[in-house]
Amino acid sequence: MRKSLYLLILAATLASAAPASAQDQKEDAAVLFFNGLQWNELSQIDEQAATTVKMFLVRGIYEGAFVMDPERALSQFYPNVSYEDLIFALDKFYREFRNLKTPVSYALVMISRDLEKQNQPKPRRLVSFESPS
């Protein structure tokens, strides 16, 4: 009896861990690689809600990169720019059809490099990665 109970639990566990369907895998990849298609879909909802979601996404990518590897993040991301400016730049970037499948994290690297070259004089609000003293 006890052995059959263990086999039943094992079977249930293996069934739940079975490979996901192609649709599930696409949805997982969409979350992992949020791209211009999803970015533009956000613009179809309430403007304030879309801006909030975009802000969280951009901030999460930036802060996550700086927490994981600050030196590498500094070489990839331009920190002297506001989140609002980054969102504006991403909106502009994703207006072009050829950029729609570019993941947001990669787009931010490209935009950051472009902004660093331009060396914007006075951003409105700087991105800060230093912990408060």
What integer pLDDT is reported at residue 125 of this predicted model?
53
pLDDT for position 22: 55
pLDDT of residue 14: 40
- Between these two residues, 117 and 108, which has the higher pLDDT value? 108
Residue numbers of the domain that contains 41: 33-133
Closest among 116, 120, 35 to 76, alpha carbons compared: 116
Could you tell me if residue 43 is inside a domain? Answer: yes
Q: Which residue has the higher pLDDT, 48 or 8?
A: 48
Tell whether 97 is covered by a domain.
yes
Of residues 48 and 6, which shows the higher confidence score?
48
Give percent of the chain above pLDDT 90.
30
Please report whether residue 26 resides in a domain.
Answer: no
Asked if residue 126 belongs to a domain, the reply is yes
**Lowest mean pLDDT, pick from 9-13, 23-27, 57-61, 111-115:** 9-13
Distance in angstroms (rounded) separating the CA atoms of residues 33 and 25:
12
Confidence of residue 127 (pLDDT cuts 50, 70, 90): low
Q: Tally the domains of the chain.
A: 1
Residue in the structure block whose two tokens are 């179809």: 44
- 45 located within any domain: yes
Query: Two tokens at 124?
Result: 């409105």
- Is the entire prediction scored with pTM above 0.75? no
| Cα within 13 Å of Cα(50), Cβ side | 14
Has residue 19 been placed in a domain?
no
Helix, strand, coil percent values for the chain (each to nearest 5):
70, 0, 30
Q: Answer whether residue 10 is part of any domain.
A: no
The mean pLDDT of the chain is 75
Q: For 43-52, what is each residue's pLDDT tens digit? A: 888 888 889 9
Look at residue 15 and tell me if it is in a domain. Answer: no
